Structure 1
Amino acid sequence: MADTVQFYMEEMIPEMRDLEQKGIFSKTEIKSIIKQRQKFEYALKRRISKKADFLRYIEYEMNLEALRKKRRARMVSDTKKSISDYAGPRRIFFIYKRCLIKFKGDISIWLQYIDFAKKNGATRTLGKIFAQAIQLHPTNEKMWILAAAWEWEENANIVAARVLLQRAIRLNTTTENLWHEYFRLELVYIAKILARRQVLGIDASNKEVEDDLMEDDEVDTDNMIKLPGVTGEEYSEFLKEDDAKEEESKKSSKAKQGKKEKKKREALTEEKAEALQTEKNPVLRGDIAMIVFRNGIETIPASFSFRKGFLDIANSFIKPKPLKEDSIQEIYESIEQDFKDLPEARALVARRAIDAFKVDEEGYAMGIAETVKGFWAACESGDVKMFELFAQNMTWEYRKTKEENLKLYFSKMIDRIFSTANKKKIHSEALYLLHVNWMLSSSTQSFDAISKKALAVLDKAVAEHPESTALTIQQIRLLRSFSRSEQIARLPEIFARALKIHTESFEVWREYATFLRTAYREEDMTKEQVEEAFLEAVRITTTLLPDVTEERADIGLIKQSVSGWFLDWMYETEGIDGVRRLYQSLMKRSLPDLGFFMACVQLEKENSVDQPESRKAIAMLYEKAIHTNEKNEDTYLSFLKFLNETGQIEAANKVMWRAGKAVENNDAFSQRYSELLEGQWVEPSFGVTKLELDMDVDAEDVTMSS
């Protein structure tokens, strides 16, 4: 190991000498560089090398190279390159190679390596990197796409880019992104060629292309100097009568040869003209791209998102359009045929007339009529999803357009959609939410008037869909914008029902806590009533099952937040005495979690740390917090920090001894404790966050929440 490190160190000697001679680094700096590199090299030569060691070494070398370049740029007098100009990047490449020998399977390192090679313009090296990466990770679509993009964008090699993506698809037949990127590559290539032809004037019109290529006799005389003409009589004066026969024989031979050359030239120009015409060129016509599309949907026939992806790529090009209208029509027809029962597909087909134009283009208005007709035809089946998509699409168009007549048209159309759905008794949670949101955001009536109509719709919606959390929260938030008397008359009953059905909804509990605090502030409820309500809320949330799955991730947040809101309210109303009474009461009923105890510790510290009573209470709370999770290092460190700051050294030693036995890694914990003593340790929040409860609701808040 030492011999290898020494060998690497000796290889640096010419580079270091060059840096010193040029005055880029001083002797002291060079010694420091050598020492740091030696330290990194020994770290890489450990029995079990770590990825972090390689990355730290690479980061150090990159920073060093950046510094060298800055200093080198200041040396205007010496512009000749030498070994020190190449050694830095070469060493970074070498470290990356060594790293990837150890960690071949780490995609992130390969991506960093590729990025570094691109920035340094290492074209040959980059080709080798891509070859190695693809060989080791043939199922990683990102590697194939990056390699193909590099071949096309950097090397302008469309053939190599095609070959790479074809191989990628052959190995990863069902990877949708590869099919999409190959389709995109062909369209980008076509668009680039068409744009170039427009600049050159080749595709000004088909007639012009044909005239320029097929008729060589026509010349642009406006840009040529006209020579004086020679008449037949003047020409005959130069001819001698005695060689008339000889001239006639020459003319006949030249005429035959001219006819042959003219036929040959005409054949050649016709061939060129045919090849240069966009309509007759299979590549420029988009045939290859459509072959990719057909093979893709044959391989992955049942994915609507896959099919729609091709359409999105084709529509993303503005001018020139690489795909002709018949090709785009084929994509739409395939979607309509294969997904005729899917509402999203039917909506996409109906939107075609709108998607073909921008909002400010002339054909947009005609497209609206055709699109609306298509949506109404799709809605005849009575599918509630079609009505949702119809309302969504019309609302999007209403937001996009600025023309008042169009806005009025869309507004009436949206009202008609909801009215028709209501008459046919076609309802859903999403449709109700769309309706309420539309009413609150676009009505010209006063908010008081429209909010009552919206509340009537929400009451009906919640009655039909009591399990919908979104509808319930919308109903609560809308009611909170009403007068206090109307809130007190209805909200308690709504919360009583909601907290039974939506016990695991964080937003419902948040609204409930907001209601309790607002009711106390407005003197609609007494302190005893609010306290009793909070205690009942804590009891309900404590009985919730643990958040062991991702679907129930909000459970822990609900438990912690409800008790935290209760704690904040008690501190605001009774101060530290109320907080102490609360946590002592809760500890008798159940054992709160770590976040609750640490919130109590924080409030006790804010009150006082000098009084013996406060210190005793803080120590007790820390003990309870440790009891909830005896392996949590941060709790021990927070306790130790408090004891050291208050001069309780003996107690700190006892806690340190207990922690050493409880934590999983005693050495790491000791290191963190040393950082604490040096003032480098940052105390975490322990999940204790002061959630700002929204005390007042206005019209904009109600609209945004939907």
Structure 2
Amino acid sequence: MADTVQFYMEEMIPEMRDLEQKGIFTKKEITSILKQRQKYEYALKRRIAKKADFLRYIEYEMNLEALRKKRRARMVSLTKQSISDYAGPRRIYFIFKRCLTKFKGDISIWLQYINYAKKTGASRTLGKIFAQAIQLHPANEKLWILAAAWEWEENANIVAARVLLQRALRLNTTTEALWHEYFRLELVYIAKILARRQVLGIDKSEAEIEKELLQEKAVDSDNMILLPTVTGEELAAFNKDNESAKEDTTSDKKSKKGKKEKTRAPLTEEKAEAYQQEKNPVLRGEVAMVVYRNGIKEIPSSFDFRKGFLDIANSFIKPKPLNGESIQAIYDSIDQDFKDLPEARALVARRAIDAYNVDEEGYVKGVAVTVKEFWNACEGGEPKLWEIFAENMVAEYHRTQEENLKLYFSKTIDKIFSSASKKNIHSEALYLLQINWLLSSSKLSVESLSNKALGILDKAVAQYPLSTPLVLQQIRLLQTLPRAEQIARLPEIFARATKEHPESFEMWREYVAFLRTAYREEDMTKEQVEEAFLEAIRITTTLLPDVTEERAEIGLIKQSLSSWFLVWINEVEGIEGVRRVYQSLMKKSLPDLAFFMACINLEKKNSADEPESRKAIATLYDKAIHADAKNEDTYLSFLKHLNETGQIEEANKVLWRASKAVSDNDAFAQRHSEMLEGRWTEPSFGIIELDMDMDMDVDMAS
């Protein structure tokens, strides 16, 4: 191991000597660089190599190379390239190669390697990297897509890009992203050609040519130099002389070079016709449509997959690479294969509106056609279609700036909700859409609007009592009414909501805000509020643990309720009340880390210098460490407190204890140094502070 490291270090000598001679780094800096590199090289030679060591080494070398470039740029006298100019990038590539020898299966390292090669413009190396990465990971679509994008965007090689994506699809026939990217590639290729032809004036219609000629005739000729008219005979004679001159030139070149130059074949009518868009299959989008048809054969039952093709086609504005017939063919296939899917029927109904931007001339006509199609689709009475219809109209209302169109969309949206109500078509989402639209668009007074919306919500909650969004909307609207009306209805609603929606974090936050305000407004006594908090903690304690992402809010609820309770007690009774409550809760349950840290924060706010507070804080930190023995931040927080309060002996004991518990002593030592230097930021430990503005909003409403 030492021999290999020594060999690598000796290879650096010419580079280091060159850097010193140029004056880019001082002798002291070079010594430091060599020591750092030696440290990294020994780390890479461990029996079990760590990916982090390779990445730290690469990061160090990249920062060093960036510094070298900056210093060299300041030295105007340095123009000639030497070994130090390419040794840095070469070393970074070498470390990447060694890293990927050990961690071939890590896609993230391959992507970093590719990005670095792109950044340094190493095209030849990049091609080899892509080949190696794809050979090792043929099922990773991201690598294929990056390789194809590089061939097309950087090398302008459409053939190579196509070949890569075709090979990728042979190996991964059911990967949706590859089909979409191949389809996009063909459309981008067509759009680029069409844009170039527009610039060159190719494929102009007869009407456009006639318009340009008329514009030329309208030019003021009084201030221009008029050229003499050329007759047909003169033009023929000129062409004849020109051809003779070309023949003389060709013969001269032949005599000088000893061989005849290759002449370009004349452009025949057949070739000219082949280059026209309407007669060229590639420019008509037939290749892209072949990709689409093959893609839906391999993945026939995915609506999102089909919609992805349409989203790509509609993302092009001008020139549009796909003609109307091709786009209609995609819509027809969706309509045929997904007749029973509301999202598909809605997509087909939007065909006319998706063909234009808001500011384009055909948009208004497209809106009329789309609205008509939606009404026809909604005749079946399916609630989901009514929801999508309303969502689309609201989105278009916000998208347009034209007042008449806004008025049209507004009346259409009102008609959707009234028609659905008359036909007794209801759903949770439709009610929420109606309420949100009413609150955002109505010009009624706040109280009248709240009463009207509450009338709809009362009906909705009665129909869908387990809908958390509907109950939350009902609670928030009630909070805008006068205080007497709130007290008359909110306690009953919260009593039902805490039992039917105990897993909603937002519901509990609203409930705690209500309790705080009720105590402040003297609607509830201190004992009643404390009992309500304890009951809330009891309800949430019995909830199943948050073992999945879907149930992640449960842990947040459990942590937050206890800390919110303690904050309120601190406001009402002070630190003595806080100690009474947390000591009682610790006897009845098994608090988590967030609970102990909330208690510690309140003890610190009281007074960290008092003997009783010091003792309480030390006890709480000890319990917090027991709750999560491997949490480094808990140790660091404790050490920070001990150092700030001058308890150095206790800090040394805690540091020794931490060294036995943490998994990586070196990393912890680094973080401990940062903490001592004031560069460590203490985390929140999962504590969510209650938004006090919620209480203010309730006061203003009352």
Same fold (TM over 0.5): yes
> Within the alignment, does 1:490 sit opposite 2:494 as a pair?
no
Shift of 1:523: 1.9
Matching residue of 1:235: none
Contact 2:575 2:602 in 1 (8 A): yes
CA separation of 1:227 and 1:293: change in aligned 2, threshold 3 A: closer
Structure-2 residue corresponding to 1:552: 551
In structure 1, distance between residues paired with 2:636 and 2:70 = 43
The CA deviation string for residues 404-443 of structure 1, in whole angstroms up to 9 with x for no partner, is 2222221111111111111111111000000011111111
Deviation at 1:619, TM superposition (A): 3.2
Structure 1 equivalent of residue 117 of structure 2: 117
Per the TM alignment, residue 654 of structure 1 is displaced from its structure 2 partner at its CA by 6.4
User: What does residue range 94-173 of structure 1 map to in structure 2 within 5 Å?
Assistant: 94-173=94-173
Identity value in percent:
75
Is 1:374 equivalent to 2:368 in the alignment? Answer: no
How far apart are residue 90 of structure 1 and its match?
1.4
Cα shift at 1:534: 1.3
- 1:42-65 deviation per Cα after TM superposition (whole angstroms, max 9, x unaligned): 222222222122112212221222
Q: Is the 8 A contact 2:58 2:95 kept in 1?
A: yes
The corresponding residue for 1:35 is 35
Mapped partners of 1:619, 1:23: distance in 2: 55
Distance 1:2 1:580, change over 3 A: closer
Q: Which has the larger radius of gyration?
A: 1
Alpha-carbon spacing, 1:578–1:144, altered in 2? closer, same or farther (3 Å): same
Tell me how far apart the structure 2 counterparts of residues 698 and 674 of structure 1 sit (CA, whole Å): 45
**Aligned equivalent of 1:342:** 341
Taking a change above 3 Å as real, the CA distance of residues 643 and 33 of structure 1, as seen in their structure-2 partners, is closer
2:230 maps to 1:226: yes
CA 2–585 in structure 1, closer or farther in 2 if over 3 Å, else same:
closer
* Contact 1:477–1:697 under 8 Å retained in 2: no
* Structure 2: distance between partners of 1:274 and 1:228: 26
The aligned residue for residue 80 of structure 2 is: 80
Change (3 A) 1:356 1:682: closer
**Contact 1:145–1:181 (Cα < 8 Å) also in 2:** yes
User: SS of 2:268's equivalent?
Assistant: helix
Match of 1:612 in 2: 611
- Residue identity matched to 1:544: L
Whole-Å Cα distance in 2 between the matches of residues 292 and 223 of structure 1?
A: 54
Look up the match of 1:61.
61
Q: How does 1:187-266 map to 2 (within 5 A)?
A: 187-205=187-205, 226=230
**Mapped partners of 2:655, 2:93: distance in 1:** 46
Deviation, 1:652, is 5.9
Task: After TM superposition, give the deviation of residue 207 of structure 1 in Å.
Answer: 9.2
Q: Pick closer, same or farther for the CA change 1:668–1:541 going to 2, 3 Å.
A: farther
* Cα distance, 1:151–1:452 mapped onto 2, change above 3 Å: same
Deviation at 1:630, TM superposition (A): 4.7
Tell me: higher relative CO, structure 1 or 2? Use CA pairs within 8 A at least 6 residues apart. Answer: 1
* Alpha-carbon shift at residue 647 of structure 1 (Å): 5.4
- Deviations 1:331-374, CA, capped at 9 Å, x for gaps: 01001111111111111111111111222333222212211111
1:9: which partner in 2?
9
| Contact 1:440 1:447 survives alignment (8 Å) | no
Gaps of 5+ in 1: 210-221, 231-264, 702-706
Aligned to 1:579: 578
For the residues of structure 2 that align with 1:445 and 1:645, how far apart are their CA atoms? Answer: 57
1:223 positional shift: 7.9
Matches of 1:460 and 1:620, distance apart in 2: 53
1:695 aligns with 2:695: yes
Contact 1:332/1:349, CA 8 A, preserved across alignment:
yes
Q: Which residue in the other structure is 2:363 paired with?
A: 364
Name the residue aligned to 1:570: 569
Rounded to whole Å, the distance in 1 between the matches of 2:204 and 2:453 is 57
- Is 1:350–1:371's contact at 8 Å kept on the other side of the alignment? yes
Matched residues in 1 for 2:88 and 2:700: separation?
A: 58
Larger deviation, residues 412-421 vs 301-310: 412-421
Asked if 1:389 corresponds to 2:393, the answer is: no
The equivalent of 1:89 in structure 2 is 89
User: 2:662 touches 2:668 (CA, 8 Å); kept in 1?
Assistant: no
In structure 1, what is the equivalent of residue 241 of structure 2?
A: none
Return 5+ residue gaps in structure 2 as ranges. Answer: 210-225, 235-263
How far the C-alpha of 1:507 sits from its partner, in A, is 0.9
Query: Greater shift after overlay, 430-439 or 667-676?
Result: 667-676
Aligned counterpart, 2:509:
510
CA apart distance, 1:77: 2.6
CA contact (8 A) 2:478 2:486 kept: yes
Partners of 1:279 and 1:285 within 8 A in 2: yes
Q: Per the alignment, in what secondary structure is the counterpart of residue 685 of structure 2?
A: coil
Judge conservation of contact 2:62–2:92 (CA < 8 Å) in 1: yes
- The change in CA–CA distance for 1:311 and 1:503 in structure 2 (over 3 A counts) is same
Q: CA deviation at 1:20?
A: 2.2
Q: Distance in 2 between matches of 1:659 and 1:384?
A: 59
Deviation at residue 322 of structure 1 after TM alignment: 0.7
Q: Relative to structure 1, is the Cα distance of residues 622 and 59 closer, same or farther in structure 2, using a 3 angstrom cutoff? A: closer
Q: Distance in 2 between matches of 1:615 and 1:699?
A: 38
Contact in 2 for aligned 1:429/1:465 (Cα 8 Å): yes
Partner of 1:215: none
Q: For 1:147-176, what per-residue CA distance to the aligned partner results, in whole angstroms no more than 9, with x for missing partners?
A: 101111111111000000000011000000
| Cα deviation 1:584-631 (Å, max 9, x = unaligned) | 332343343332222112211221233332233333333443443455
Aligned residues of 1:206 and 1:277 also touching (Cα < 8 A)? no
Give secondary structure in 1 for the equivalent of 2:477: helix
Q: 2: CA distance between counterparts of 1:269 and 1:88?
A: 56
1:212 corresponding residue in structure 2? none
Q: Paired residue for 1:274?
A: 273
- Partners of 1:136 and 1:269 in 2: how far apart? 49
2 CA distance for matches of 1:466 and 1:547?
24
Task: Give the number of equivalent residue pairs.
Answer: 654
**SS state of the match for residue 695, structure 1?**
helix
- Residue 666 and residue 198 in structure 1: after superposition, are their counterparts in 2 closer, same or farther (change >3 A)? closer
Q: Which residue of 2 aligns with 1:288?
A: 287
SS of equivalent residue, structure 2 residue 118: helix
Query: What is the CA–CA distance in structure 1 between the aligned matches of 2:475 and 2:580, rounded to whole Å?
Result: 32
Cα deviation per residue 1:512-556 (whole Å; 9 max; x = unaligned)? Answer: 000011111222222222122112212222222222222221112
- SS where residue 553 of structure 1 aligns? helix
Equivalent residue number for residue 310 of structure 2: 311
For structure 1, which segment, 394-403 or 433-442, has the greater mean C-alpha deviation from structure 2 after superposition?
Answer: 394-403
What amino acid does structure 2 have at the position aligned with 1:15? E
Q: Does 1:400 align with 2:399?
A: yes
CA distance in 1, matches of 2:77, 2:638: 61
Instruction: For residue 380 of structure 2, give the secondary structure of its aligned residue in structure 1.
Output: coil
Q: Name whichever of 438-447 and 39-48 sits farther off.
A: 39-48
Are 1:325 and 2:329 matched, yes or no? no
Comparing 387-396 with 65-74, greater Cα deviation is found at: 65-74
Counterpart contact for 1:447–1:699, Cα < 8 Å:
no
The equivalent of 1:236 in structure 2 is none
Contact 1:194 1:320 in 2 (8 A): yes
Cα pair distance change 1:659/1:126, threshold 3 Å: closer
| Bigger shift: residues 102-111 or 528-537 | 528-537
Are positions 1:422 and 2:426 aligned together?
no
Q: What residue identity is the alignment partner of 2:39? A: K
CA distance in 2, matches of 1:181, 1:700: 54
Pick which of 174-183 and 63-72 moved more. Answer: 63-72
8 Å CA contact retained: 2:478, 2:490 = yes
Q: By how many angstroms is 1:129 displaced? A: 0.7
Stretch deviating more after TM superposition (60-69 or 146-155): 60-69
Question: RMSD in angstroms over aligned alpha carbons?
Answer: 2.8
- The CA distance in 2 between the partners of 1:497 and 1:619, in whole Å, is 41
Residues 190 and 322 in structure 1, CA contact (< 8 A), matched pair in contact too: yes
Contact 1:40 1:53 in 2 (8 A): yes
Deviation of the 1:700 alpha carbon: 13
Which range is displaced more, 412-421 or 177-186? 412-421
For residues 75-103 of structure 1, the C-alpha deviation after alignment (integer angstroms, 9 at most, x for no partner) is 22331212222212111111111111111
Offset of residue 227 of structure 1: 7.6
Is the CA contact (8 Å cut-off) linking 1:644 and 1:652 kept in structure 2? Answer: yes
Q: Which one-letter code corresponds to 2:59 in the other structure? A: E
Distance 2:62 2:419 in 1: 66
1:11–1:195 distance in 2 versus 1, CA, 3 Å: same
Cα distance change, pair 435–672 in 1 and its aligned pair in 2 (3 A): same
- Aligned equivalents of 1:99 and 1:431: distance in 2? 55
1:173 partner SS:
coil
Contact 1:384 1:428 in 2 (8 A): yes
